[in-house]
Structure 1
Amino acid sequence: MASWNSLPLEVSYQVVGWIAFVSWSISFYPQVFLNYRRKSVVGLNFDFLLLNFTKHSSYFIYNASLFFSPFIQRQYFEKYGSDEMIPVAANDVAFSIHAVVLTAFTIFQVFIYERGSQKVSKTAGVITVAVWTVATVCLFIAWPKQSWLWYISIFNSIQVFMTAIKYIPQAIMNFARKSTEGWSIGNILLDLSGGITNFAQMGIQSIDQRTLVNFYGNIGKTLLSLETVFFDLLFIIQHYVLYPARDTKSSEAAPFLRSAESSNTKLKANDDSMSHDV
């Protein structure tokens, strides 16, 4: 495997990669804490959670397999050249593990907190079943020829596909409700930071190696960053421009103000009636 040509770039690669890991990992917590504080998951789309869990599980299988398996790494070098670098870093594996655990915990919150009439749609259920069915069929295809690099690439393709569609149900829900209440914007801002730094990490490796192989050698990581940035910008526009948060204090005080106004009106009417009688 190729080695780094520049120590500063190697250090930058590691630093930027772990910044991406921290940003993406912390991005799960605002939603978890929001659910806990509200004791409710109303406003959080369940299709998003299901598709997201499938996405992160697939990404974990790909990252861990390519990072830890010498056999799969050898197949990678046979395909792209022995002078290339493995396009999966330790921070990619660490993030995948953390993402699966936190997404599973958020799904657990769905079962213990108030969720209103929300439920997983049949479409999301069918997509999830279809994806894992395809993965199972591909396993039997890869087994005879030991085509494990091809097989884990299927999971990389799955995570790209799931990333492209997982945000859509939440975006549609925000549009239908004309609100982003219950959907943590903190999650989105951190997610955007992770997407940008993840792409920057690949750019640093390309500059050092003077090649773009790592971009298409791990096309899933490239598309993951681009898709993340696109959808995060969409959610930012929804939250801050299209459906800005209402003044919570004013909305909470409104019923009391209306009640006070009603009482004052009744008192005034009574006073006028008494004056008329006199």
Structure 2
Amino acid sequence: MASWHSVPIHVAYEVLGWSAFVSWSISFYPQVILNFRRKSVVGLNFDYAVLNLVKQIFYLIYNCSLYFSPAVKKQYGNKFGHKQMNPVALNDIAFSVHAVLLSAFTLYQIAIYDRGNQKLSKMAAGLTVIVVLTSAVCVCIAFPHHHWLWLISIFNVIQVALTIIKYIPQAVMNFMRKSTEGWSIGLVLLDFFGGVANFLQMIMQSIDQGSWKNIYGNIGKLLVAVVSILFDIIFICQHYCLYRHSKDNKSTDQQLSENASNHEEV
């Protein structure tokens, strides 16, 4: 793998990378803390939570394979050139591990806290099954000929697709409820900053190497950052512009609880 040409750019690359790690990692905690304080997950879309965990698992496999596996790195060099730098940084590994753990813990909170009348949709459950079966078929195809780079590239495509899909149920749910209550704006703001830092980190590496191969060699990382930024802008608009007065009315959680109580009485 290639080495750095400029020390200042290398420093900027590391600072941006670990800034993205800190922002994206901390972004999980506002939602976890909000769930804990309310003892409720009403307002957090379950489709988002499940698809996010599946996405993070695939992203972890991709990052660890490209960073640690000599076979995968050799195949990457054969395809993009052995003088290219590894597009996966150590901060990507650290984030992926942390993301899987916190995403799993969020699902645990969903299992133990008040859910109101919310539940996982059949579409999300079916999509999860399809993704798992597809990945299993790809493993069977790649294994005989050791096409590991092709395999993790498929995983990378899957995690990008899930990144796009996972935000949609939450955005739609906020729209239907005309409220962002139960959905942490702290998560959104930190996710936005992490996406920007992640995007700029890739730009720093391209500038230093005088090549854009690190970007289209790891296009998934770029797309995840861009998609996250775009959806975060939507959530910010929902929270601060469209539904900023929603807290002036009766709490949506209280309405759901009252509806559930009335239904039980009937």
Decide: shared fold, TM above 0.5: yes
Q: What is the Cα deviation at residue 196 of structure 1? A: 0.3
| Aligned-partner residue type, residue 158 of structure 2 | I
Aligned residue number for residue 115 of structure 1: 115
Gaps of 5+ in 2: 252-266
1:210-262 deviation line (CA, Å, top 9, x unaligned) = 010011000100100110000000000011111114456x858xxxxxxxxxx
Alignment check: 8 A CA contact 1:181 1:245 kept: no
- CA RMSD after TM alignment: 1.1
- Return the alpha-carbon distance in structure 2 between the equivalents of residues 247 and 209 of structure 1: 50
Q: 1:17 to 1:26 in 2, by over 3 A?
A: same
Q: 1:24 to 1:39 in 2, by over 3 A?
A: same
1:11-44 deviation line (CA, Å, top 9, x unaligned) = 1111110000000000000000000000000000
- Return the alpha-carbon distance in structure 2 between the equivalents of residues 243 and 130 of structure 1: 35
Q: What is the Cα deviation at residue 169 of structure 1? A: 0.4
Q: What is the Cα deviation at residue 111 of structure 1? A: 1.1
**Structure 1 segment 33-72 matched on structure 2, within 5 A:** 33-72=33-72
Aligned residue number for residue 224 of structure 2: 224
Runs of 4+ more than 3 Å apart: 245-248
Alignment check: 8 A CA contact 2:199 2:225 kept: yes
- Return the alpha-carbon distance in structure 1 between the equivalents of residues 204 and 117 of structure 2: 47
Alignment check: 8 A CA contact 1:87 1:217 kept: yes
**Structure 1 SS opposite 2:108:** helix
Name the larger-Rg structure.
1
- Return the alpha-carbon distance in structure 2 between the equivalents of residues 65 and 100 of structure 1: 16
Q: Is 2:138 aligned against 1:106? A: no
Alignment check: 8 A CA contact 1:180 1:245 kept: no
**Structure 1 segment 126-137 matched on structure 2, within 5 A:** 126-137=126-137
Alignment check: 8 A CA contact 1:19 1:197 kept: yes
Aligned residue number for residue 75 of structure 2: 75
- Return the alpha-carbon distance in structure 2 between the equivalents of residues 197 and 90 of structure 1: 15
Q: What is the Cα deviation at residue 194 of structure 1? A: 0.4
Aligned residue number for residue 274 of structure 1: none
**Structure 1 SS opposite 2:50:** helix
Aligned residue number for residue 185 of structure 2: 185
Alignment check: 8 A CA contact 2:179 2:246 kept: no
Aligned residue pairs total 251
| Aligned-partner residue type, residue 158 of structure 1 | I
| Aligned-partner residue type, residue 126 of structure 1 | G
Aligned residue number for residue 276 of structure 1: none
Gaps of 5+ in 1: 253-278
| Aligned-partner residue type, residue 96 of structure 1 | S
Aligned residue number for residue 195 of structure 2: 195
**Structure 1 SS opposite 2:201:** helix
Alignment check: 8 A CA contact 2:87 2:217 kept: yes
- Return the alpha-carbon distance in structure 2 between the equivalents of residues 140 and 246 of structure 1: 51
Aligned residue number for residue 204 of structure 1: 204
Aligned residue number for residue 25 of structure 1: 25
- Return the alpha-carbon distance in structure 1 between the equivalents of residues 181 and 3 of structure 2: 48
Q: What is the Cα deviation at residue 51 of structure 1? A: 0.6
- Return the alpha-carbon distance in structure 2 between the equivalents of residues 246 and 170 of structure 1: 16
Aligned residue number for residue 147 of structure 2: 147
| Aligned-partner residue type, residue 113 of structure 1 | Y
Aligned residue number for residue 263 of structure 1: none
Q: What is the Cα deviation at residue 204 of structure 1? A: 0.2
**Structure 2 SS opposite 1:83:** coil
